[in-house]
Structure 1
């Protein structure tokens, strides 16, 4: 396989998978999402590797570079931030490669919503609080189906990880409250989770806009809304002494 679409992870170069790192080290041609991928990852590239920053490239230009590399029998890594399946715009690239008969492999990565949980030292799925995680975004230039708008999703009262929406925080808060979250619902904003300059702001829906006003939070931030944040919760049955499962007999005494 000559072409690999690789998840770079959330930012920390050590959070790329071992397979992703190996492919990056071996690649003859690297096309990386320069507006998001940590440039420190490019230090893994071998001497002489051809490197393209896709931030200023169009889809046809990206596909042309891949096609030329394949024709020259070179290996290609298309490096996307986080996991490429989440807001990675890879479907259109894969469809274009399919039309040209170019085979490829997708290598998953650690998504920023998971790195955000690690930064917050927070489990998203606490017993009795929330057992569902909704990954979504607010509507902007990219439309969102009516049934998936924040106001509709808020009715579930689940943990929500909201991508690509920090510049619309006022609107996000209004929609969440209108959808049913109390104003006292905890919210956390994590900018550049796993990067050296990681920044965390915690507040409630009622206070978050004011809290981040002077924090220089930019578009790379993740919004987490959840009753799990700082909640009292039931302990997991998995580790309860009296709970039996396939690997342990519970103590019924």
Structure 2
């Protein structure tokens, strides 16, 4: 059935797209992908007859027109976004427009860069007695951020933070975080997580800005901050031999 599919391409590694997303791309008649942010290998398995559009140079109006014409012709459209489309994917405006046009659509989630970065670092974002909360946010740039969601405000929670779209402002990021986190708080910057050219920079709030500048990292990077990056934590009760739950009786 003709439909528009919003597909999360994952962080970069073409094997990190979901099976469902992969299958839809294989049978799509029209593929609209988010430029250099999507690994070309993700869409390489599409039909040779598929019409392929790079949305990096397109406006919202142009993207919607391609979708509208395709659906009118009874075609399947794969709208491929980087990571997971629900996080900074700008899909709401597309979905609302499709709703207004009575065009059927579906969202297929993907692996976000913040979890791909944690995997690259071999760290767990939520550790007992360290942090049980993950905050996904960004620094204010050309896109405004509500005042109550500023990094300075969110930093007061001392939670694990995943900061998107902000590495080019690393000094400002550090200044905001340092208002609540100590200078020795560990922080990591992962550029192009899961891509062959992946780059990992680890430091503290005191030295990360200098390290990032030395590495020449100015875009396509995830910033992760918090004591989950350290080595001090309590063991999980889930596998504690003294802990009882629905499937196992604890030993006294």
Q: How high is the TM-score relative to the length of structure 1?
A: 0.98
**1:15-30 alignment to 2 at 5 Å?**
15-30=16-31
Aligned-partner SS, 2:148: helix
Q: Which residue of 1 aligns with 2:221?
A: 221
Structure 2 CA distance, aligned partners of 1:47 and 1:147?
49
Q: Which residue of 1 aligns with 2:178?
A: 177
- Offset from partner CA, 1:130-181 (integer Å, 9 cap, x none): 0000000000110100110000000000000000000000000001112x10
**1:84-123 alignment to 2 at 5 Å?**
84-123=85-124
Matched, 1:70 2:71: yes
> Structure 1 residue 35: deviation in Å?
3.1
Gaps of 5+ in 2: none
Matched, 1:238 2:218: no
Do the aligned residues in 2 keep the contact of 1:129 with 1:228 (CA within 8 Å)?
Answer: yes
Q: Which residue of 2 aligns with 1:80?
A: 81
> Structure 1 residue 24: deviation in Å?
0.4
> Structure 1 residue 46: deviation in Å?
1.0
Structure 1 CA distance, aligned partners of 2:96 and 2:57?
21
Q: Which residue of 2 aligns with 1:186?
A: 186
Q: How high is the TM-score relative to the length of structure 2?
A: 0.98
> Structure 1 residue 218: deviation in Å?
2.9
Runs of 4+ in structure 1 off by over 2 angstroms are none
> Structure 1 residue 39: deviation in Å?
1.1
Do the aligned residues in 2 keep the contact of 1:191 with 1:199 (CA within 8 Å)?
Answer: yes
Do the aligned residues in 2 keep the contact of 1:192 with 1:199 (CA within 8 Å)?
Answer: yes
Aligned-partner SS, 1:141: coil
> Structure 1 residue 30: deviation in Å?
0.2
> Structure 1 residue 189: deviation in Å?
0.3
- Give the CA RMSD over aligned residues: 0.7
Structure 2 CA distance, aligned partners of 1:228 and 1:71?
50
